[in-house]
Amino acid sequence: MRLQEIDFLIIGATKSATTWLQQSLQQHSAIHMPDPELHYFSRYYERGTDWYTQQFARQPHHRLVGEKSNSYMDTPEAAPRIRRDLPHIRLIAQLRNPVERAYSDYCMLYRRGEVGKDIDQYLDPRLADGGRFLNGGLYYDQLRAFLDLYSSDRLLVLLFENIRTQPQRQLDAVRDFLLLDSELEVPPVTTKVKDKTQPVISPGLRKVLAPLKSIAKPFRQNPVFQAARSVIARELRYPPLSKDLKTRLIDYYAPQVERLGTTTGQDLSAWLSNVVPQRDPAG
């Protein structure tokens, strides 16, 4: 496998259903994508091109080869590295309302026990000082880095919100962008990739049990283990995103959203409406 044989990258954004997009494309007989996110151009570039190309197992019937790594959008070093190694590549960015994206990202880490209940500490622009949750939604700056290196016809910008209403149309746009035969359908994945309503062990108890994680891993599919887990697992109640906090987030992202809308020619005004989600909007 050579670098020149890699045709496209899904570069992000995080918590924008890019796994759904990847799994849908993997159903296409002409497309090959490795399952794990490689994060080569963002985290593992020092491993070299031999390591990277070995992650792909192209078969004779595969016309297109690509990969998905959400970290490419929000890692400043990724764009110039990709341009240097893959000047021919096609890029796909699937974006989501940055306020909902930040909240969904927070809920994911809360679910894992990696952040606490004080949501303002992580999402309030007056307190958080950037960081993972806020910086992940600076789409205009992130895509500008790629558009400074690639022509606009090499970048396809999709919106997460369209998946809910027109999933097939979303995938048809990807199919056309990748120059696949028009008669080939790419059926969308119909089940939730990550269901945030599934019962989980509480963050506090998860921390207590963390030292046993490696020991328990081989037994996760055991009926006795699953029965024991079901006793202590509960659907989480996520810290709510208040209207005041959402207003501050909207004000924080408004300049980025306006510039992005002008650059992509898309109406993104709905992202700046103050409708507060009652639970994590991912799924």
The residue extents of the domains of the chain are: 3-194+240-272, 203-232
- Give the pLDDT confidence score for residue 20 in this predicted structure: 94
What does the pLDDT read at residue 193? 47
Maximal C-alpha separation, the chain: 56
- Which CATH number does the domain 3-194+240-272 belong to among 3.30.420.40, 3.40.50.300, 3.30.565.10, 3.40.190.10? 3.40.50.300
The predicted pLDDT at position 190 comes to 62
CA 44, CA 275: separation in Å to the nearest integer?
39
pLDDT of residue 273: 85
Q: What are phi and psi of 12, to 5 degrees?
A: 140, -170
Per-residue pLDDT 10s for the chain (283 aa) are 889 999 999 999 999 999 999 999 998 888 999 988 999 999 999 999 999 999 998 677 788 999 999 999 999 999 999 999 999 999 999 999 999 999 999 999 998 889 999 999 999 999 988 899 999 999 999 999 999 999 999 999 999 999 988 999 999 999 999 998 765 666 666 655 454 555 555 555 555 556 656 675 675 666 654 555 554 555 678 999 999 999 999 999 999 999 999 999 999 999 998 655 544 444 4
For residue 132, the one-letter residue type is R
- Whole-model pTM: value is 0.82
Distance CA 138, CA 124 (A): 15
CB 64 within 8 A of CB 31: yes
Whole-number pLDDT of residue 195: 47
198, 235 contact by CB (below 8 A): yes
Cα(271)–Cα(98) distance, rounded to whole angstroms?
7
Tell me what pLDDT residue 62 has: 81
pLDDT of 204: 59
Write the DSSP assignment of 82-130 as a string of letters: HHHH-TT-EEEEEE--HHHHHHHHHHHHHHTTSS-S-HHHHH-HHHH-S
Distant-in-sequence contacts of 170-179, Cβ < 8 A, 24+ apart: 170/21, 171/21, 171/24, 171/25, 174/21, 174/25, 174/92, 175/28, 177/90, 177/92, 178/7, 178/8, 178/31, 178/64, 178/90
In this prediction, residue 206 carries a pLDDT of 57
Spatial separation of the C-alpha atoms in residues 260 and 254, rounded to whole Å = 10
Q: What is the distance between the alpha carbons of residues 170 and 25, in angstroms, rounded to a whole number?
A: 11
Tokens coding 12: 């992000």
User: H-type helices in 93-222, by residue range?
Assistant: 98-111, 119-123, 125-128, 131-135, 139-147, 161-165, 167-177, 203-209, 213-216
| Cβ count within 10 A of residue 27 | 13
Query: Which tokens hold the place of 186?
Result: 């790419």
Peptide bond into 228 cis (omega under 30): no
